[in-house]
Structure 1
């Protein structure tokens, strides 16, 4: 990715009566020194983030992403982000996006240790080339996430379901998948139920019915998955959130990984077992996901 823009926000200056939001922003060099060494996002991964797709200058699903940022802040006991301030900052950064695809990242950190306020910033970069994964599909392996399906109910301190900056496990899972000759991983519980991919939601199709693992299992409620379900329902398909056994990954008529930047990547194999890929239908899904969505 190549950086295009970066903007620091001052969360302490957010005020519901404020109109001059530009006064709370500071443009910074994304390649230069910006954050202090005591910043807890770097020290401990203590913060939250959202990644938004930007297509031809249009920032996708701003409302759902800000809602999930607020939910993550609540789970992590961070100050609630001011949606008006963040919307103004997103619009400001979006002016740096031209034609093509970009990724915009929103970050809210606890700030400097024992500091008075959190730290917040937005970056914009060119998106990776996702043509191959969208058109040809991805090979995945299943990896044990290390907890049972009921873990979120009795261990809320794990912050399962929050989109935190602590992505060391997620990145390690992708590296392990690549060591096994695959492109990506799908996390599963110790009692063998599907959760999510390290950076994507999982959606399965059986006939005219589409299903995804329930967010109650402690996974992120995907913004792209939500948008896709609305699209599918409008076309007459049924959708559901449910408990998905691992075996369903290879018995479904089709399956996809969904994320804000990669969009719909069909799964073509699971642990070496081939899975059918409907390329024409996947093209339809991605055509929708590339269209302007609010």
Structure 2
């Protein structure tokens, strides 16, 4: 397995095992920071491709703005990405995830902490593209539109405060599931801890409104390119029964790209007749 690579914003590589972040960094002690992650793999022309690179940098900037962090050094992150891609062994690991990290920096004051980390895409993530995912529905404390009206809850930000999301996935795995879709108190379906839901209902591709949840770059990709294949993707108020009775469903994310939902709380879900076309649109 290829070891992770670390790059600083001046474009130099650093030892991933050497100390980089101070113990009092607010990203460590309070999760006060943002990140984004993009898939990197060899493209059709044989050259490495950072998928939706500019969109991920844009989202990093939006996340930093929501948290009132200093504006990310976009050129510096570009240099770091280039250094990582140039040093990566794509023969050994053809797919990797590059994470862009920005924290508020030391609690006592000082410059923000910023770096990029590139690591192999987990084999389990790659496998889920083919075999699909069994999901469970878990409650979340607020409706999306309520969160959107509460900026202190950081709606739309990809922050380092990911403990609840990771706890939800651990809960799912302990109970025999692969992943989660959150449900609002109103009964509306929301998002997954690290993914976006799309359902096929009679050939219509529907996804929950993104009010108060993180904008999905993979969903944007699907919405942009689906019309060229004769498909449309629309936002809709979806409830659990809309998912359970669907002709199929998928979870979309930047690393996994797409995985079809095989079951919902133990109830089997068919594989959509549109699955092959959705996968083609997303270059899976």
TM-score, length-normalised on structure 2?
Answer: 0.91
Out of 35, 55, 63, which is 2:54 matched to?
Answer: 63
Distance 1:231 1:242, change over 3 A: same
For 1:175 and 1:194, the matched residues in 2 are separated by 20
Q: Which residue of 2 aligns with 1:20?
A: none
Out of 233, 246, 257, which is 2:251 matched to?
Answer: 257
TM-score, length-normalised on structure 1?
Answer: 0.88
Structure 1 residue 93, shift from structure 2 partner:
1.5
Q: Which residue of 1 aligns with 2:178?
A: 183
Between 245-254 and 282-291, the greater mean CA deviation after superposition? 282-291
Q: Which runs of 5+ in 2 are unaligned?
A: 43-47
- CA contact 1:55–1:290 (8 Å) conserved in 2: no
Distance 1:50 1:153, change over 3 A: closer
For 1:147 and 1:208, the matched residues in 2 are separated by 30
CA RMSD between the two structures: 1.8
For 1:153 and 1:102, the matched residues in 2 are separated by 32
Aligned residue for 1:95, secondary structure, equals helix
Q: Which residue of 2 aligns with 1:5?
A: 5
Structure 1 residue 281, shift from structure 2 partner:
4.3
Structure 1 residue 182, shift from structure 2 partner:
0.7
Structure 1 residue 135, shift from structure 2 partner:
1.5
Q: Which residue of 2 aligns with 1:285?
A: 278
Q: Which residue of 2 aligns with 1:104?
A: 98
The equivalences for 1:217-236 within 5 A come to 218-236=212-230
* Matched pairs, number: 275
Aligned residue for 2:188, secondary structure, equals coil
Residues 233-253 of structure 1: per-residue CA shift (max 9 Å, x gap): 211112112322222111221
Q: Which residue of 1 aligns with 2:270?
A: 276
Residues 210-269 of structure 1: per-residue CA shift (max 9 Å, x gap): 1211111x1111111111122212111121123222221112211100111111100011
Q: Which runs of 5+ in 1 are unaligned?
A: 10-23
Out of 169, 185, 210, which is 2:205 matched to?
Answer: 210
Quick check: 1:29 aligned with 2:15?
A: yes
- CA contact 1:208–1:238 (8 Å) conserved in 2: no
For 2:87 and 2:219, the matched residues in 1 are separated by 27
Structure 1 residue 283, shift from structure 2 partner:
4.3
For 1:111 and 1:223, the matched residues in 2 are separated by 27
Q: Which residue of 2 aligns with 1:124?
A: 118
Quick check: 1:81 aligned with 2:75?
A: no
Out of 179, 192, 205, which is 2:187 matched to?
Answer: 192
- CA contact 1:257–1:264 (8 Å) conserved in 2: yes
